[in-house]
Amino acid sequence: MRAPVLVVVMLLLAVTAAAQYGLPRQLARRAPHASDPSGSLPDYDGGFRFCRVWFRNGAAGDGDGWYVDYPRADENLSIRLMEVTRTRVTQDGEGNPYPVIVRLTDPSLFRCPFLMMSEPGGSYFNNEEAANLRAYLLKGGFLWVDDFWGSRAWRNWENQIGKALSPAEYPIVDLTVSHTMFRMLFPVQTLPQIPNVGLWRFERRTSERGQDSDELHVRGIQDKHERVMVLMTHNTDFGDAYEREAEDPSYFHTFSVNGYAIGIDILLYAMTH
């Protein structure tokens, strides 16, 4: 039971300091780091970098775009990873985490131990992107998709990921809290439905699309050895738990602490499986 207590204490101290000194707003104003659309991760040194996927939106989809929660969620989760593990995270000259944006056609994709997509319900993959994503995942890569709500967003995402991983060969399965992924460092007790901070602040509810998003889905696609290659957190928004951690104490205590424990477990699973 010491691990959950430890993460609560460390996160409380870290976020209190961040709020006091205005750190989240400073991070939000910094110029984002982006990979060259044609090339490689800048100054690649082998450290962990939070890699966010750039993608186009399709007409049939439901989502705002690849940039939702960027860059603050990427930076904040990287900071917590440094604070509670010994993972070496690449930092810039000011000591801040160095997350990057990658296209699925970038050769540098294969240097990313972990990929993140926000609002993938709006995404569209062409043949080259789908083929590269398939190759990345089958070679040991890991993709987490988060913050897409309702049946339309799910149907579109299911169609897009099916271009890379045929559902006949790699079916989507439900994951429970007992999965190894959620026991890496912190023994997670529940998988939460996390709303955006505004919905919680003003309405105190968690389903962003009413009845169409009432039920949280945590799903995965596994390789032939049952390693999870793709994690899908549908009808929840872990990204806001990281991006907006210091904006509302109730939101932080209700969602961010558990959200960080789960996020760190996911990162550790991605880097060790």
Q: Distance (Å, rounded) from C-alpha 149 to C-alpha 212?
A: 8
My answer on whether omega of the bond before 71 falls inside 30° of 0, hence cis, is: yes
Tokens of 92: 């810039």
∠255-260-261 over CA atoms, to 5°? 105
Q: Which domains does the chain have, with CATH numbers?
A: 2-272 (3.40.50.12140)
Task: Give the single-character DSSP code of 180.
Answer: G
Q: What is the pLDDT of residues 123-135, one digit of tens each?
A: 999 999 999 999 9
Q: Above pLDDT 90, what percent of the chain?
A: 79
Amino acid present at 208: E
Residue 8 pLDDT: 55
8 Å CB contact between 172 and 220: yes
Among the ranges given (43-47, 175-179, 267-271), the one the predictor scored with the smallest mean pLDDT = 43-47
Length of the chain, in residues? 273
Give the DSSP letter of residue 186. S
- Please report, for residues 126, 144, 217, 230, the alpha-carbon distance to residue 181 in angstroms, rounded to integers and kept in the order given: 30, 12, 15, 12
Strand partners, 228: 222
What is the torsional sign of CA 41, 46, 47, 50? positive
With beta carbons less than 8 A apart as the criterion, state whether 68 and 145 touch.
Answer: no
H or E element in which residue 17 lies:
helix 2-21
- Residue 1's pLDDT is 46
Q: Which of 86-100, 144-158, 191-205 has the lowest mean pLDDT?
A: 86-100
Greater confidence, 60 or 256? 256
Whether the per-residue pLDDT at 29 is higher than 50: the answer is no
d(CA 143, CA 129): 14
Q: Which pLDDT value is given to residue 44? A: 72
